[in-house]
Structure 1
Amino acid sequence: MTRRFAWVVAVVVVVLVAVAPSASAHATVVSTSPSDGQVVAAAPSVVSVRFDEPVQMQFGALRVFSPSGARVDEGTPSHPPGHSDTVQVAVGSNLGRGTYTVAWHVISADSHPVSGAFTFSVGASSSTSVPQDTLNAAGSKAVGVLYGFARGTAYGGFALMVGATAFLLCCWPTGAASRRVRVVIGGGWAALVVATFAVLGLQGPYDGGFGLSRVFDSAVLHTTLGTRLGTALAVRLLLLGAAGIGLVLLLPRIAGASDRLRITAVAVGAALAVAIAATWATADHAGTGSQVALALPLDVVHVMAMAVWLGGLTVVVAVLLRPAGAEVPVLAAAIRRFSTIALCCIGTLVASGTYQAWRQVGTLGALTGTVYGRLLLFKLLGVGLLIGLGYLARVWIAHYLAGPAMKADAVAIRQLRRSTGIEVVFATGVLAITAMLVNAPPARTAYAAPVSTTVAFDAGGPKGKGSVQIFVSPAKAGTDLVHIETVSASGEAEVVAQLTATMSLPDRQLGPLPLNLDGAGTEHHYGNVAIPLPGKWIMAVTVRTDDIDETTVQVPITIR
């Protein structure tokens, strides 16, 4: 049974990590100098990009290419004094006329690579010949999969180490004599140590877009240690060293320890576990954005509740409920105590998870319209199933372990073990999704709300007044759905003789681009439109109400 559970858990983790999306922009560009698409009279001496949060330059670059594709930047990219949210680089003094391309690659505050490009022109715009692969080379898929797997394994190792130890101290002290329990705790500690080293080695190639050959590169590792996440990983390894020593000293003494010693061990162990959990919170989404002072401790609490619950469940199914696990009275006392602890953990997870979801998602559209939001929905589904299984376990406990006349026989115990084992499998899947969420851009950042606006028109003539209702989704560069509905002055849908529309991007001198819309002869005009670049576009809608009366309205549309 245990081996089958292990295989199912492994398959769940591998599948989820294999299909995990690559992390994309977590920091957003606020402005560039020169501005994107700007035509300047004289060549600038410095090119810069400003973001909405501090960024790191380790594994970063800010490169400038001439119209022919040659590098024209000079020196090393840097932060202006006092502005960690801005990167700049000097350019040569003899730039000729034409369009120059600027490519940037930095590390956002939540430890993920962010890249992009923009153009500016000196004197006049021109054609360019900079290959896309030169601007931003795609990272290694193998590195991304291994990186995600290592982060998921780290969560699992932390849960086994902390949760199993907490179960012994609070629910089953005599279980410390069991070799299986010591294997669970030691295996969790070892898995977390190995996974932390793996993340430390893979972080540099992940951030820099390198291949697996750079995992053991000492220069890359040295640079990684200078990043926010690298520092957190180094601190975690030091804490794990202390935790390992503590476990070696503690485990042989738990069974015969006094209440005072166990209370002291719980306090010291909890402090150490909280410190280890904080190495995740400080380097990921909780450490950036709004309300950091509240988000950080709640994220630590969330991780701790997950660890105590999942690690305790593992001990229950892998050791306590086995045929030779424990006598029924001991089993009953341990399970009743853990049932109360698990209920508190579930309440904590729901409360802290609800806050995290609101902070990272914000709107219903972002919940269904982003990778982060959809992963969160899967996680919520998994948590709901876990709550249902936990409720069934509490019903079992109330039926078989209530009162002095306990009715738990071998068959009943197998039922609980099977139910709890399924709970462990689902919990591990939720853990894998959590690792993917950490690696995905927050929905608030990634989501672009659809554009919906109404503009009045007056084409003259007896029935020339009305309005057009315009809907553009998702209002992001790429393929968008455009839907235009014509409405009469009285507010009712109305068919017009003809409706055409174009889009222009004045800042880049692009357009007008005609929109191919279906629905001629109806009040609804719609179509899928390829919008090549983000920016402040202008949609020009021309409405002809009869053979001679027509008008054009200009509608600003922001494409992200």
Structure 2
Amino acid sequence: MSLVHRSPEAGFAPGLRPRAAVRRLAFLAALVVTVLISVAPSASAHATVVSTSPSDGQVVATAPTVVSVRFDEPVQMQFGALRVFSPTGSRVDEGSPSHPTGHSDTVEVALTSGLGHGTYTVAWHVISADSHPVSGAFTFSVGSSSATSVSQDTLNAGGSKTVGVLYGIARGVAYGGFALIVGATGFLLYCWPPGGASRRVRAMIAAGWGALVAATLAVLGLQGPYDGGFGLDRVFDTTVLHTTLGTRLGTALAVRLMLLGLYGVGLALLLPKVEKASVNLRIAATSAGAALAIGIAATWAAADHAGVGSQVPLALPLDIVHVMAMGTWLGGLTVVVAALLRPAGADVPVLARAVRRFSTIAACCIGALVATGTYQAWRQVGTLGALTGTVYGRLLLVKLLGVGLLIALGYLARVWIAHYLSGSAGSGSSNKGGSGSGSRSGSSTARSAAVTPDAIAIRQLRRSTGLEVALATGVLAVTAMLVNAPPARTAFAAPVSTTVAFDTGGPNGKGSVQVFVGPAKTGNDTVHIEVVTPSGEPVSVPQLTASLTLPDRQLGPLPVTLSGAGTSHYYGGATIPLAGAWKLAVTVRTDDIDETTVVVPVTIR
């Protein structure tokens, strides 16, 4: 039986020999991993402060009885704290912080009575809705401002870097384990039932189940120290673990462990019977396994980005589809590489049938990944600028590069199948009997089995598919990093660019100011203002000034120093200390007595 109908290079793109293709794709895979490592983010805030009471920097006449912080999404108080320090550094908060009734996005704490004059520091540490810790601080003054002895070390109780690294690794291993148990089991049931007799396949599935259980337990143990900023010595602290189980992620992890218990029992009963199982039994097993797998995938979706923000009823099921497609594709690929294509004397018709079936499944998974991934990118990124302007966006670009390479590798495999396996499956029977070769021909064929064209072609497919598995593993690592990164939509602030008309009331007093403020984030921002006529032509004016105010905090006006007097283009810089809905007031004077002020909204994140 001959598998190859053309040269061994025929299955690859024209002009690209297999070894060259492998080398180039390996280089690209290494590049992806290198970029992945270079842009790996540290854990950072996902919930954003909307307002505080008292306001940051506010001077109040009398001491408040309560301080509060409001966020842009619900936050959890497990491992949380809201501490208030006097000018001397002593604690002046009283009781435990809590949510006001009906306001899960706000935390508050009572203050002791009899507070004296001076500057007080409020430090907060809470858990955002997507299970990540966020922290910060602000100050207010009673009577008048003063010096304070509160140190940054007191305010910023940084967590253990070791805990953070192990936490990220555990989440990545969990994705890999899920892919093995879901994809490998599905591959056996639908594509390759005889593989159920393979010890290698059984070991792979058992390893995937064990890895997911171990990784889930590790995340459960590390979540408390990660959220609370503790060290590794608190991983086995039962008090911390009990608190973790009360969080949203802790509940999801507990549910996942229960579902994994049921999945493990099912695997133990099913795997010995897969090879000889009837079609009805395989359908029933597939249905039950799919239901459990969907439940396990939902434990990721419900506790991460898909479970918070806008369009949650749509985002949750699409995220589950995304995780399921990932697991089915990657797990199936792993079986193809590690078991199906491994034997030197592969049964080519069986191999062809299994790979053809999986090729169809893989194509469907790719379609699902592209569709759901596009929606997730739109939901979490929002604008093109956020793709390059945020850690989340850059990680997403790396993931898209990896997926693109995976699709290219999948295309090479499909070409190989079309050129080799299809013809082989149809010609196998005619090649079995032989005519005129005699026993010597059969003996010679047996002795050269290791170097047959079939073996060469299968080895080529195995290399290509192996690269897919390696690259897909890198994509999984990026996915784990995306879970820990703040969504680009909330982390990125698009520059403000707008045009506002003015009319000073005097001769030639009509026109417009074209305003640009970027990057529209706290810190140093650039301000450009262009004066134009009603027809859009640049025009110089005798004077133009600008200032910034933040009405919500009663802050400002802060003057903006501008250069370019006597021209149509004014430019300068502004240091914006706080996020919020700022107002840029631009005063234009068109002659000695006529002037007007226009206000431009500027959202700073």
Say whether the fold is shared (TM-score over 0.5).
yes
Change (3 A) 1:196 1:501: same
Query: Are 2:531 and 1:486 equivalent residues in the alignment?
Result: yes
Residue of structure 1 in register with 2:274 after alignment: 254
Give, in whole Å, the separation in 1 of the partners of 2:501 and 2:512: 4
Change (3 A) 1:527 1:197: farther
Give, in whole Å, the separation in 2 of the partners of 1:291 and 1:455: 33
- 1:549 deviates by 8.0
Give, in whole Å, the separation in 2 of the partners of 1:399 and 1:185: 31
Give, in whole Å, the separation in 1 of the partners of 2:367 and 2:323: 13
Retained in 1: the 8 A contact 2:48–2:71?
Answer: yes
Structure 2, unaligned runs of 5 or more: 1-18, 432-452
Residue of structure 2 in register with 1:186 after alignment: 206
Retained in 2: the 8 A contact 1:540–1:552?
Answer: yes
Query: Are 2:362 and 1:342 equivalent residues in the alignment?
Result: yes
Change (3 A) 1:541 1:9: closer
* % same residue: 79
- 1:400 deviates by 0.9
Query: Are 2:467 and 1:467 equivalent residues in the alignment?
Result: no
Residue of structure 2 in register with 1:73 after alignment: 93
Change (3 A) 1:165 1:31: same
Retained in 1: the 8 A contact 2:39–2:395?
Answer: no
Q: Tell me how many residue pairs correspond in the alignment.
A: 558
Tell which deviates more after alignment, 522-531 or 397-406.
Answer: 522-531
Letter aligned with residue 293 of structure 2: A
Give, in whole Å, the separation in 2 of the partners of 1:126 and 1:455: 42
Query: Are 2:490 and 1:445 equivalent residues in the alignment?
Result: yes
Change (3 A) 1:275 1:506: closer
Retained in 2: the 8 A contact 1:58–1:227?
Answer: yes
Q: Aligned match of 1:405 in 419, 422, 427?
A: 427
Give, in whole Å, the separation in 2 of the partners of 1:555 and 1:9: 47
Letter aligned with residue 160 of structure 2: S
Change (3 A) 1:516 1:211: farther
Q: Aligned match of 1:534 in 576, 579, 586?
A: 579
Retained in 2: the 8 A contact 1:36–1:119?
Answer: yes
Retained in 1: the 8 A contact 2:546–2:560?
Answer: yes
Q: Deviations over 1:260-291 (max 9, x none)?
A: 22222211211111111111111111111222
- 1:501 deviates by 4.3
- 1:174 deviates by 0.9
Give, in whole Å, the separation in 2 of the partners of 1:82 and 1:544: 50
Letter aligned with residue 100 of structure 2: P
Letter aligned with residue 53 of structure 2: S
Q: Deviations over 1:513-554 (max 9, x none)?
A: 554555566543434543222234444546566899877655
Give, in whole Å, the separation in 1 of the partners of 2:341 and 2:191: 14
Residue of structure 1 in register with 2:448 after alignment: none
Tell me, what secondary structure is at the counterpart of 1:405? Answer: helix
Retained in 2: the 8 A contact 1:485–1:493?
Answer: yes
Give, in whole Å, the separation in 1 of the partners of 2:61 and 2:341: 78
Give, in whole Å, the separation in 2 of the partners of 1:471 and 1:211: 46
- 1:471 deviates by 0.8
Show the 5 A alignment for 1:357-506: 357-403=377-423, 404-405=426-427, 409-456=454-501, 465-496=510-541, 501-505=546-550
Retained in 1: the 8 A contact 2:506–2:594?
Answer: yes
Residue of structure 1 in register with 2:197 after alignment: 177
Give, in whole Å, the separation in 2 of the partners of 1:226 and 1:424: 37
Tell me, what secondary structure is at the counterpart of 2:208? Answer: helix
- 1:47 deviates by 1.8
Tell which deviates more after alignment, 260-269 or 407-416.
Answer: 407-416
Q: Deviations over 1:289-332 (max 9, x none)?
A: 22222222221111111101000011111221124373111111
Change (3 A) 1:184 1:70: same
Residue of structure 1 in register with 2:152 after alignment: 132
Retained in 2: the 8 A contact 1:47–1:91?
Answer: yes
Q: Deviations over 1:407-458 (max 9, x none)?
A: 9712211221111111112211211111111111122222223222334456
Aligned residues: CA RMSD = 3.1
Tell me, what secondary structure is at the counterpart of 1:422? Answer: helix
Tell me, what secondary structure is at the counterpart of 1:25? Answer: coil
Give, in whole Å, the separation in 1 of the partners of 2:263 and 2:601: 59
Larger radius of gyration: 2
Show the 5 A alignment for 1:253-332: 253-324=273-344, 326-332=346-352
Change (3 A) 1:248 1:471: same
- 1:477 deviates by 0.5
Residue of structure 1 in register with 2:5 after alignment: none
Structure 1, unaligned runs of 5 or more: none
- 1:488 deviates by 3.2
- 1:344 deviates by 1.2
Q: Deviations over 1:374-407 (max 9, x none)?
A: 2222222222222222222212211112240269
Retained in 1: the 8 A contact 2:344–2:455?
Answer: no
Q: Deviations over 1:216-271 (max 9, x none)?
A: 33322221121111111122122222222322222222112222222222112111
Residue of structure 1 in register with 2:3 after alignment: none
Q: TM-score, normalised by structure 2?
A: 0.84
